[in-house]
Structure 1
Amino acid sequence: MPDDLYRTDIVTWSRQQAERLRRHVAGERVNDLDWEHVIEEIEDLGLSEINAVASLLTQAMVHALKIARWPDSEAVPHWTAEAVNFLAQAQRRYRPSMATRIAAEECFDDARRVVLATPGQGPEAPIPAAAALDLPAVMDRGADLRALIETLGHGPA
């Protein structure tokens, strides 16, 4: 196995490592497992999922804040659909073990910065400076998506 295969062709490397792991599990002595990178990839996979959920949540918040910022815009139905879609995707990928690893307030801060930097058409309404978010409640797949979007766009009650 070339030493740099991990860096040059991750797809081939991962297939080879998976095959070696299967042989190892079957009882074969396998000496050429790249344990260091296998461990790193497993850790990165979890971080990747956490980052994906945080990104989707941030995008939902961006659209919710656009609705709050420009409530009379013709784009409100589109922004609502986008916010609902991003939030539904985040909810589908979310796992309770992520709760301590996703900073919903940071997602909100990022979304707010994006919206404040976005030029709009028409009068601008103020948007909340912060949001008191209960991440498990926001990620509840049984929750009313449109109500959550409204909550995200209007900050703490």
Structure 2
Amino acid sequence: MLATYDTDLAAWANHTAHLLREKRWDEVDWEHLIEEVEDLGKSERSAIGSQMERVMLHLLKWEYQPQRRSDSWLDSISDGRSQIRRKIEDSPSLKNYPDQILDKEYKRACREVARQTGLDIATFPPNCPYSSDRLLGDWLLE
């Protein structure tokens, strides 16, 4: 029995790649193939946003809870930055995406820091104090 998009995504993807290599255009499930290609771009953007929130979350904790600083925060900041850089290297068209979502991800990070730390959300600046270039750089607050 041939796997379909709905029954086995991995098998469907392999079969679709086989059909494309053999130029068997009439047999390709174009609707789902287009959907999957569109989702790839969404997934890359979502990953960048998630990592930006993670980096800002730990930078804010680093700045506003200096007494609790830890190596795990540093590791998280460093890894998040690395993940973002890697996504942009793999997809250069996303180079400006961090600028586009900076404010949205900053607000998410503030809400999460407030939840995790018990600090009032008003503690944090209303606008993101980091540029995306600085956010992705190798600096750290003292």
Normalising to structure 1: TM-score of the pair?
A: 0.73
Deviations 1:108-156 (A, max 9, x none): 1101100001136xxxxx4322215543x2476xx4x1x2x439xxxxx
Query: 1:92 maps to what in 2?
Result: 86
Query: 1:155 maps to what in 2?
Result: none
Question: Would you identify which runs of 4 or more consecutive aligned residues in structure 1 move more than 6 Å?
Answer: none
Question: Paired residue for 2:125, among 125, 128, 141?
Answer: 128
Query: 2:103 maps to what in 1?
Result: 105
Q: Distance in 2 between matches of 1:43 and 1:138?
A: 30
Query: 2:53 maps to what in 1?
Result: 58
> Alignment partner of 2:16: what SS?
helix
Q: What percentage of aligned pairs have identical amino acids?
A: 29
- Count of paired positions: 135
In the superposition, relative to structure 1, how do residues 91 and 150 fare at CA in structure 2: closer, same or farther (>3 Å)? farther
CA RMSD, 1 decimal: 2.7
> Alignment partner of 1:128: what SS?
coil
Normalising to structure 2: TM-score of the pair?
A: 0.80
Q: Does the Cα contact within 8 Å between 2:56 and 2:109 map onto a contact in 1?
A: yes
Query: 2:19 maps to what in 1?
Result: 20
> Alignment partner of 1:129: what SS?
coil
Q: Post-superposition shift, 1:77? A: 2.8
Q: Does the Cα contact within 8 Å between 1:91 and 1:139 map onto a contact in 2?
A: no
Residue range with higher mean Cα deviation, 52-61 or 4-13:
4-13
Q: Distance in 2 between matches of 1:34 and 1:118?
A: 45
Q: Post-superposition shift, 1:21? A: 0.4
Gaps of 5+ in 1: 121-125, 152-157
